[in-house]
Amino acid sequence: MIIVSDTSPINNLAAIQALDLLRELYGTVVIPEAVYHELTDPDFPVAGSIEVQTLEWIQCQAVTNSAMIEALSNDLDPGEAEAIALAIEIKADQVLIDERRGRLIAARLNLNCTGVLGVLVEAKAQGLIPAVKPLLDALIDQAGFWIAQPLYDRVLRFAEENESE
């Protein structure tokens, strides 16, 4: 299975010490150079920085279709644009993107797409975690991940857990 990730899923899962879920679910995760640079910018240290530099199962790959990146960059940040372009280029099975605009564009380009919330639901479905709710709460409290209440409740329903009170 070929998985390409944008910055947010790696950054947010690393912030809650759950990055290894990506390895357990997918084996290898490929990131484009822009995502690598976003995560390792020395002027803006973020969770996931050390991991993308040291973990063998996170592989950085250059995108060769610069015209595609340029076209996507009109609407997306560099990491999203390169993640989508790389996913198309290497015929990825799925692209991991959290931002709404990136997901919409990925879907228009016929890419299978999920985000960090989908990763958590899948991890529970495969028995890798006992519950989604504690990790959802950690994303909000520790990573500063914003989740609207209706989405929070919907994720818990998908995971077959009690909704928030």
Q: How many CB atoms lie within 10 A of CB 30?
A: 21
What pLDDT score was predicted for residue 44? 83
The C-alpha atoms of residue 120 and residue 136 are separated, in whole angstroms, by 8
CA-CA-CA-CA torsion sign (49, 53, 59, 64): positive
The answer as to whether 161 is a domain residue is no
Q: State how many domains the chain has.
A: 1
Query: What is the reported pTM?
Result: 0.93
For the stretch 23-57, pLDDT in tens is 999 999 999 999 999 999 988 888 899 999 999 99
The domain that holds 16 is classified in CATH as 3.40.50.1010
Using the predicted structure, report yes or no on whether residue 165 has a pLDDT greater than 50.
Answer: no
Structural domain includes residue 56: yes
pLDDT at 142 over 70: yes
**Cβ contact 104:80 at 8 Å:** no
Expressed as residue numbers, the domain containing 27 is 3-116
Instruction: Specify if 146 maps to a domain.
Output: no
Query: Mean pLDDT score of the chain, rounded to an integer?
Result: 94
Band the pLDDT of 98: cuts 50, 70, 90.
Answer: very high
What's the per-residue H, E or C state across 80-99?
HHHHHHHHHHCCCCEEECCC
